[in-house]
């Protein structure tokens, strides 16, 4: 029977450069404390109980054991005193580093990648998610199939079991390769099915808006509120593993499809990104990506960078983007009314067009809805224009880009009543000059990309 008491874990993080603690590390390097805070969350999400942490200076990194043999022995002594079952590294261990560490430290050794894979495995609900996670796990496991292995799928229930004996190794490798091939084929079938769904959708020309962002940023909460869906929301990492697409009919604009997706994280394992490629297609194909940010999170800026890195990796880096600064209520609790406003202003300067919302209170939703419609170029307005006869090109433009509701030849020109995208309507009004000239500073439609 598997032991169901939580695994006791020691966390090992790495300090950049080996320099004494700095108040502000380089932008792309989290402080060890920040790193550990996230690793702790991940470990707890996987069902482990964190009993201690170790920070090792990067200057002492060794190719054989990562942290150096001396440090490894120190950890083994600590284990004998404290009796933890698991050492979790914030860095990815090479297969040989893992083996060497296991030879010194007499308990399970996991790295950040294995931990994330384990969480995904626990969370996978649909067939597709399960297949994708298993594929990623097997690819991770294949080069590590020697000596004593850690059964990643049973992190919560007794690990550190002996791995397969050498004679069985080749058979196991072959089995794993066969299984990988099988899973790949299965994923191809699912992808083909999705493709058919998308084809139907694209015929309808309903734009696809996809929520993307760091894990726990509030994507599913927003999705549920905006789409009135029953998306799965939980204050845990990686609550959502499946893409969920819902149709939204906003009161102030055209219908759209809203997709909720799996959360990203710093150092998201490549095997996982590759395996989730079909799920993440909803991001790559989005007419608009809503980058949901937990504006109240201390590591917010680095989280945003991590999301950008994943978007680039999956080939979605150039999709039209709108930054949604979520958890405004929490930011206000932290900084007060004025502080929060100043912070949002600062961020809106860095990310033009960013909208601040609270998915919990619904604050900022009308602005968000408008921003989405604007970004899609889908918000429509009715223009009434008396187009002078010498400006026939303008009349042609209205016919081309709008839906003409009425047209009448008058003394001063053609009177046209037409429905068109707000930005185009603004352009028409601007071309005609006062009265009713467009005053707002919204970008011209030519500056917006795609549909």
* Known binding positions for GTP: 213-220, 238-242, 260-263, 326-329
96, 64 contact by CB (below 8 A): yes
Q: Which is nearer to Mg ion, 219 or 380 (CB)?
A: 219
Who contacts 168 (Cβ-Cβ below 8 Å, separation ≥6)?
none
**DSSP line for 219-251:** HHHHHHHHHT------SSTT---S-EEEEE--T
Q: Which residues pair with 49 in a beta bridge?
A: 8
For ligand GTP, what does the binding mask look like between residues 407 and 426, x meaning CB under 6 A?
Answer: --------------------
* Distance of alpha carbon 157 from the chain centroid: 29
**Minimum separation from the CB atom of position 186 to ligand GTP (A):** 24
Residue 279 binds to Mg ion (criterion: CB under 5 A):
no
Number of residues that bind Mg ion (CB under 5 A): 4
Nearest residue to ligand GTP, scored by beta-carbon proximity: 263
Q: Is 336 left (phi over 0), alpha (psi -120 to 50) or beta?
A: left
Who contacts 34 (Cβ-Cβ below 8 Å, separation ≥6)?
298, 299, 302
**Does residue 173 have a cis peptide bond before it, meaning omega lies within 30 degrees of 0?**
no
**Contact positions with ligand GTP (CB under 6 A) in 318-347:** 326-327, 329-330
Could you say which of Mg ion, ligand GTP, none residue 238 binds, taking C-beta under 5 to 8 angstroms by partner kind? Answer: ligand GTP
**Minimum separation from the CB atom of position 231 to Mg ion (A):** 7
Could you say which of Mg ion, ligand GTP, none residue 356 binds, taking C-beta under 5 to 8 angstroms by partner kind? Answer: none
Residue 109 and residue 65: Cα distance in Å, rounded? 12
Residue 239 binds to Mg ion (criterion: CB under 5 A):
yes
Residue 384 and residue 380: Cα distance in Å, rounded? 13
Could you say which of ligand GTP, Mg ion, none residue 216 binds, taking C-beta under 5 to 8 angstroms by partner kind? Answer: ligand GTP
Residue 240 binds to ligand GTP (criterion: CB under 6 A):
yes
**Minimum separation from the CB atom of position 307 to ligand GTP (A):** 11
The angle, 0 to 180 degrees and rounded to 10, between the axes of the packed helices 32-45 and 112-123 is: 30
Determine which helix (DSSP H) or strand (DSSP E) holds 69, and give its type and residue range.
helix 69-82
Residue with tokens 């352009």: 427
247, 227 contact by CB (below 8 A): yes
**Minimum separation from the CB atom of position 265 to ligand GTP (A):** 9
Give the interface segment with ligand GTP, choosing from 270-278, 316-324, 352-360, 436-444 (CB under 6 A). 352-360
Who contacts 235 (Cβ-Cβ below 8 Å, separation ≥6)?
216
Residue 119 binds to Mg ion (criterion: CB under 5 A):
no
Give the interface segment with ligand GTP, choosing from 32-40, 95-103, 229-237, 298-306 (CB under 6 A). 229-237
Could you say which of Mg ion, ligand GTP, none residue 269 binds, taking C-beta under 5 to 8 angstroms by partner kind? Answer: none
Residue 364 binds to ligand GTP (criterion: CB under 6 A):
no
The dihedral sign for the CA sequence 228, 230, 234, 240: negative
Residue 11 and residue 75: Cα distance in Å, rounded? 10
Could you say which of ligand GTP, Mg ion, none residue 234 binds, taking C-beta under 5 to 8 angstroms by partner kind? Answer: ligand GTP
**Contact positions with ligand GTP (CB under 6 A) in 27-56:** none
**Contact positions with Mg ion (CB under 5 A) in 198-237:** 219-220
**Contact positions with ligand GTP (CB under 6 A) in 247-286:** 263
Q: Which residues bind Mg ion (CB under 5 A)?
A: 219-220, 239-240
Q: Which residues bind ligand GTP (CB under 6 A)?
A: 213, 215-221, 233-235, 237-240, 263, 326-327, 329-330, 358-360
């Amino acid at each position: 029977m598997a032991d169901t008491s939580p695994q006791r874990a020691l966390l090992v993080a790495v300090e950049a450069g080996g320099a004494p603690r700095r108040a502000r590390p380089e932008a792309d390097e989290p402080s060890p404390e920040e790193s550990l805070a996230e690793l702790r969350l991940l470990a707890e999400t996987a069902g482990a109980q964190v009993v201690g942490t170790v920070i090792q200076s990067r200057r002492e990194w060794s190719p054989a054991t990562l942290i150096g043999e001396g440090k490894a022995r120190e950890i083994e002594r600590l284990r004998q005193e404290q009796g933890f079952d698991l050492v979790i590294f914030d860095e990815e261990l090479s297969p040989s580093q893992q083996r060497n560490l296991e030879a010194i430290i007499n308990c399970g050794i996991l790295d950040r990648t294995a931990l994330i894979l384990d969480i995904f495995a626990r969370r996978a609900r649909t067939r597709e998610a399960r297949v994708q996670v298993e594929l990623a796990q097997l690819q991770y496991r294949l080069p590590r199939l020697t000596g004593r292995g850690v059964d990643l799928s049973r992190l919560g229930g007794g690990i550190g079991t002996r791995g397969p004996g050498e004679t069985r190794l080749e058979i196991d490798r072959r089995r794993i390769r066969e299984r990988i091939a099988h899973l790949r084929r299965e994923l191809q079938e699912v992808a083909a099915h999705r493709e058919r769904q998308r084809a139907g959708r694209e015929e309808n020309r309903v734009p696809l808006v996809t929520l993307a962002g760091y894990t726990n940023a509030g994507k599913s909460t927003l999705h549920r509120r905006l789409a009135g869906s029953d998306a799965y929301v939980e204050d845990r990492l990686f609550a959502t593993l499946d893409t969920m697409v819902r149709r939204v009919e906003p009161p102030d604009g055209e219908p759209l499809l809203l997709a909720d997706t799996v959360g990203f994280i710093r150092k998201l394992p490549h095997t996982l990104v590759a395996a989730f490629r079909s799920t993440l297609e909803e991001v790559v194909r989005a007419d608009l990506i809503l980058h949901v940010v937990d504006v109240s999170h201390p590591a917010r800026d680095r989280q945003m960078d991590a999301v950008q890195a994943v978007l680039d990796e999956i080939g979605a880096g150039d999709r039209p983007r709108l930054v949604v600064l979520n958890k405004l209520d929490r930011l206000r609790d932290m900084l007060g009314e004025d502080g929060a406003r100043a912070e949002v202003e600062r961020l809106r300067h860095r990310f033009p067009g960013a909208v601040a919302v609270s998915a919990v209170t619904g604050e900022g939703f009308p602005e968000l809805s408008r921003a989405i419609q604007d970004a899609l170029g889908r918000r429509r307005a009715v223009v009434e224009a008396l187009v002078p006869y010498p400006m026939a090109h303008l009349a042609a433009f209205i016919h081309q880009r709008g839906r003409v509701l009425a047209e009448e030849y008058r003394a001063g020109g053609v009177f046209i009543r037409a429905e068109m995208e707000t930005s185009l309507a603004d352009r028409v009004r601007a071309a005609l000059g006062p009265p009713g000239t467009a005053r707002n500073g919204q970008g011209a439609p030519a500056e917006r990309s795609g549909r």
